[in-house]
Each structure stands twice: as structure tokens, then as C-alpha cells.
Amino acid sequence: MTDTVSTPAPVYSVPQERRIVTAIPGPKSQELHERRLAVVPTGVSSALPIYIARANGAVLVDVDGNQFVDFGAGIGVTTVGHTETAVVEAAAGQLQDVIHTLFTITPYEEYVRVAELLAQYTPGDHAKKSVLVNSGAEAVENGVKIARKFTGRRAVAVLDHAYHGRTNLTMAMNYKAMPYATGFGPFAGDVYHVPNSYPYRDGLSGPEAAARTIAYLEKVIGASDLACLVAEPIQGEGGFIVPAEGYLAALQDWCTANGVVFIADEIQSGMARTGAFYASEHFGLVPDLVLSAKGIAGGLPLAAVTGRAEIMDSAQPGGLGGTFGGNPVAAAAAVAVFETIERNDLLAEAERIERALKPALLELQEKYDIIGDVRGIGAMIAIELVKPGTAQTTKEPNPDAVNRIIASAAQQGILFLNAGTWGNVLRFLPSLAVSDELIADAVSVIDDAIAAL
């Protein structure tokens, strides 16, 4: 007998394993899909048309009873795990108390508490304030709006390979026209795309890449007209691009020296995903504004702009807000997410996932020359696939290989997402509940899929 107290293993209502019992998609999913085709427009596509009935931890259960290990987490939303108990209880409790008042009419504590937590957990110990909204794109829109108001300047700079959303302004901010913008113009003006650091493809050091970006900012826009630079510390849809060391810090220094608001879009990289509350911390950044969304409320729609109090206060009363922004149920869930991250030491879980995944992927890279790059931090890891024989030369993107791996894994009960400007990046974006065993299993499925290509 020992006296050591150990943390109890989490209890899941769905066994944490993959289990395929029908063809994929199964008959019930196919039936639902037929109904959907009649009433949901083509523009709303689904990567994998299996219809989900339940979800828990790292596992999805479809309407046919198939179980999928989820390496997408609804694109980085269910970071604390699907239907995490504390989140469910907080939201359910809030549903009984008050569902809606509209914070800009009659406020409530949950909104204030989320703003306090954001002030505590976003980088930097300066005075901060937050506005809560409904989606990532809305957070980006508000961040830009506030930066323009504060600086009195018009221009917005974004990095190549960025993704910021599907509203009119954010469509103009994305790198990829197809599918996000093609045919949907005219777009918002005064948005400038500047080169990013992409170590695998540009081979530049951080200072070299920063000098190139800053030259664009100065020559193409001019610092005196620039309101803000919006940067994802680790680009999400762009393919989990981790910039070269010193790159982002140099950009932030340039922004500070030139009165430009530095906005970190942490919508995909934030909320404990990378083993820090915000990925900015890995790069020594203290952004003027930080954008949160996705993982902030465990699956409920909530997003935030958090920033220096003096910048946030530049908007006039009534200039910020919206009917559902900071909804009490979503806000109560967000409070539970912050508490769960602390209580379950989820920052350490993200680090564990990197330790379990990255070396295994690097081993695969030794074996298969189509794996050009293995990169990422914490539970935000990716492999970039190139055409055979091009890894040392042109690094020709290989989206076909990614699509075939994803299709093969889905048939076996593992859900992966692609990413990248050329669609040639396979990303691992699981909830932090995913076990080492499920990770090892997923890597062996990828190994077999690549061998079969």
C-alpha cells in the first residue's frame, strides 16, 4: 500500500475506440444525405458525409453506430473534449437560469467573468478589455474595426497563406480565393497581402523573412496609413506553418515602433491547443489585440477580441456588440473551459500529444520521401506531402496523397482534415482528450495508407 494520491482516469460515456459496423457512409447517413441535398445549398459542403448522433472525449458516433476517432475536433473547437462534463453542466445550469437578455441592454455576470479570464490568460500583464462576439470571423472584423478607430488609419495587412473567415472583410483577408472568395466580390478595400515566413518553402531565417515582410509593409502600404497587421502565430488553414524563429517578434517590434496595432489571430492556435494558453507565448509575443474563438467555449459559439484597454476603449458606446454576442450559455461554457484547462492540466496534455505524435511522424518521414515536412506545436501538428522524388528539389505539392490517406482512414474509423494553400497538408488537431494509444493507432493507419499509395 502507498499513500500516493493519483488523479482518477477520466470516465467517458462513449468507449474511446474506433469501431466500424457498416459501410462508410452507412445507410442512415446516406438517407440523411439525400434529405440534406434537397434543402442545404451546395456551398455548405461536408468533408465526410457521416451524420453524427453522439460525441464524447475524442470519439464521434454516427447515426449507423460507427465510431470515429476525431483528429479534427470540429476544426479545433472541442479542445477540452467532446461533451466535456464540466462544460455540459455549466451550459445546462445556465439554460435553467437565463438564456438571453442581450448584454448591451441588461448585462449578466458570465460575460464579465469571461472578460476577466481573458484578461488573465492572454499574453501580457497590462490592463485589458474584451468584447464578446459569435464567431471567429466576427472577432476578426471587430479587431480590425477597433484598430482603425484607435489609429485613425485605413489599411489592414495580412500574411500570405492566412485564413480569417467568410464574411465580406475576412474574404478579402484570406490568401486562397478558391473556395472562399471566388465569385463573391466585390470585396472590402484597403487589405494588403504581404509575404509570410514559411521555413519549409522559403528557407529564410526569421530576421530575413521579417525584413522581406517589413519591406512590403513600408513600400507597398506605408506605415503611416497602416492600422493593423493581423497574423496567426501558427497558421491554421494555411497548413500549420510555424514561422522561423524571431520572425513574429520582429514584426511586432516594427508595429510597436510605427504605431501599428499588432493583432494575433489565435482563433485556431489558442485556448491551450499548443501547450500554452495562446501560441503567441511560444514566440515571445505580447499582441496589442488577441482574437479567440473555436475552443473557447467547448463547442458553443463564442468569440472574443481582447486587447490593451486604451485601444479597446477607443470605440464609442454602442459601436461594438450584437444581439447574441457573449450569450450567457456560451459564456458559462467558456468559464468551464478555462477552469477545465487548469483543473485537468490540459497544457501538459497538449505537450504529451506532441511527444506522442511528432517523433512517430518523423519516423514515417524517414520511411516515405513524400513526407516533405513534419511541423507544429502541441496538439497542432501537420505533415506536408509532396510528389515522390521532389522532397529535395521542387517540393511539388501532393494533395492527391492527402486525400487518399484521409479517405482510407475514414473507412477505418479515423477522421483527419486536410489544410494548406495547395491542400497537401494532413493536420492533426485532436481534442486534448486523445490518448497515446489512439495516436499510435492513427499513425499506423497513416503508415499503411502511404504504403498502399
Ligand X SMILES: Cc1ncc(COP(=O)(O)O)c(C=O)c1O
CA distance 56 to 259: 46
Q: Which residues pair with 67 in a beta bridge?
A: 19, 61
Tell me the closest approach of the beta carbon of residue 162 to ligand X, in angstroms: 8
Closer to ligand X by Cβ: residue 192 or 368: 192
Q: Which residue is nearest to ligand X (CB)?
A: 136
Closer to ligand X by Cβ: residue 163 or 175: 163
Closer to ligand X by Cβ: residue 12 or 422: 422
Q: Which residues pair with 60 in a beta bridge?
A: 55, 68
Give the HSE-up count for residue 124: Cα atoms under 13 Å, Cβ half-sphere.
18
Identify the H or E element spanning 173.
helix 168-173
Residues 288-307 that bind ligand X (CB under 6 A): 293
Q: Residue 236 interacts with ligand X (CB under 6 A)?
A: yes
- 432, 275, 346: which is closest to 7 by C-alpha? 346
Closer to ligand X by Cβ: residue 66 or 142: 142
Residues 301-340 that bind ligand X (CB under 6 A): none
Q: Which of 62, 64, 141, 265 binds ligand X (CB under 6 A)?
A: 265
Q: Residue 130 interacts with ligand X (CB under 6 A)?
A: no
Tell me the closest approach of the beta carbon of residue 21 to ligand X, in angstroms: 32
Window contacting ligand X (CB under 6 A); options: 79-87, 133-141, 278-286, 401-409:
133-141
The distance of Cα 328 from the centroid of its chain, to the nearest Å, equals 23
Q: Residue 267 interacts with ligand X (CB under 6 A)?
A: yes
Q: Which of 20, 59, 69, 75 binds ligand X (CB under 6 A)?
A: 75
Tell me the closest approach of the beta carbon of residue 22 to ligand X, in angstroms: 30
Closer to ligand X by Cβ: residue 81 or 301: 301
Tell me the closest approach of the beta carbon of residue 73 to ligand X, in angstroms: 12
Tell me the closest approach of the beta carbon of residue 76 to ligand X, in angstroms: 7
CA distance 262 to 235: 16
Closer to ligand X by Cβ: residue 350 or 391: 350
Where on the phi/psi map is residue 169: left (φ > 0), alpha (ψ -120 to 50), or beta? Answer: alpha
Closer to ligand X by Cβ: residue 65 or 322: 322
Q: Residue 237 interacts with ligand X (CB under 6 A)?
A: yes
Residue 43 neighbours by CB under 8 Å, 6+ apart? none
CA distance 132 to 139: 8
Site string for ligand X, 135-174 (x = CB under 6 A): xxx--x----------------------xxx---------
User: Pairing between strand 226-231 and 261-265?
Assistant: parallel
Number of H helices, E strands in the chain: 14, 15
Q: Residue 228 interacts with ligand X (CB under 6 A)?
A: no
Identify the H or E element spanning 247.
helix 247-257
- Residue spans of beta strands (DSSP E) within 240-331: 261-265, 289-292, 303-308
CA distance 304 to 291: 6
Site string for ligand X, 379-398 (x = CB under 6 A): --------------------
- 103, 60, 96, 53: which is closest to 78 by C-alpha? 60
Written as one letter, the residue type at 93 is: G
Closer to ligand X by Cβ: residue 18 or 164: 164
Q: Residue 18 interacts with ligand X (CB under 6 A)?
A: no
- 309, 326, 280: which is closest to 146 by C-alpha? 309
Closer to ligand X by Cβ: residue 79 or 268: 268
Written as one letter, the residue type at 332 is: A
Burial class, 367, CB count within 10 angstroms (exposed 0-12 / middle 13-18 / buried 19+): exposed
Q: Residue 248 interacts with ligand X (CB under 6 A)?
A: no
Q: Residue 232 interacts with ligand X (CB under 6 A)?
A: yes
Closer to ligand X by Cβ: residue 64 or 283: 283
Written as one letter, the residue type at 203 is: G
Tell me the closest approach of the beta carbon of residue 231 to ligand X, in angstroms: 10
Interacting residue ranges for ligand X, rule: CB under 6 A: 75, 135-137, 140, 163-165, 232, 236-237, 265, 267-268, 293
